[in-house]
Chain A
Amino acid sequence: QLQLQGSGPGLVKPSETLSLTCTVSGGSISRSSYYWGWIRQPPGKGLEWIGSIYYSGSTYYNASLKSRVTISVDTSKNQFSLKLSSVTAADTAVYFCARERAHGDAFDVWGQGTMVTVSS
């Protein structure tokens, strides 16, 4: 059974870079057609898509975050990662990694979520 496990620091200082990694187990990240995405949810608010990546490295990002976001993939480790630069308190959220069934389709498998707080 496919599982996604997010990991990374729970506290990041303002203006620094948030870095998270999602480890995929029970299946290959290189399997054709699937994309791998990051979605976040500020406390008490709704879901916001950040961006997605294909195992080949092809990416697409939320335009509102694009200037600060980098998503990368490491197929040898079956992982994909998120970097969000110049963070502020508005970036405080639970960050989910998830599998996208196909480009532009639904997210069918989700990780458990990683709470990241931006504070000095």
Chain B
Amino acid sequence: SYELTQSPSVSVSPGQTASITCSGDKLGEKYASWYQQKPGQSPVLVIYQDTKRPSGIPERFSGSNSGNIATLTISGTQAMDEADYYCQAWDSSTVIFGGGTKLTVL
């Protein structure tokens, strides 16, 4: 079955750029989405179709997807961006989530 792999944790200093990656076989041939989840809250969609931002999501969130890796980039990271981030793709009529990455803003 298809799998998406994420690093368990990423740390970044305030104001710096955070990059969170998601790897999967030929992931670049599929659409990748990204969700932000803060403790005790429901996930929030921050990127869909590899690069698109839903209304209300700050411009500092961007995405890319090529080869076997999709990347969520947060530019000028703020303390409020500290959260768990999940990638998601679709394969053979199945929705797949990555295991999640905890972003710590030090």
A residues with a Cβ closer than 8 A to B are 37, 39, 46-49, 52, 60, 62-63, 96, 101, 104-108, 110-113
Contact = CB atoms under 8 A, between A and B. Distances in A.
Interface string B22-45: 000000000101010000001111
A52 B94 CA distance: 10
Contacts of A49: 94-97
A101 B33 CA distance: 11
B97 A48 contact: yes
Interface in B1-51: 1, 31, 33, 35, 42-45, 48-49
Contacts of B98: 46
Given A105-B31, A105-B49, A110 B43 contact: yes
A108 B45 contact: yes
25 contacts: A37-B95, A39-B97, A46-B86, A46-B98, A47-B43, A47-B88, A48-B97, A60-B93, A62-B95, A63-B94, A96-B42, A101-B48, A104-B93, A105-B48, A105-B49, A106-B45, A106-B48, A106-B49, A107-B35, A107-B45, A108-B45, A108-B48, A110-B43, A110-B44, A113-B42
Contacts of B76: none
A101 B48 CA distance: 10
Interface in B51-104: 54, 86, 88, 90, 93-100
Given A37-B95, A104-B93, 17 more contacts: A46-B99, A47-B88, A47-B97, A47-B100, A49-B95, A49-B97, A60-B94, A104-B31, A105-B31, A105-B48, A105-B49, A105-B90, A106-B31, A106-B33, A107-B88, A108-B54, A110-B42
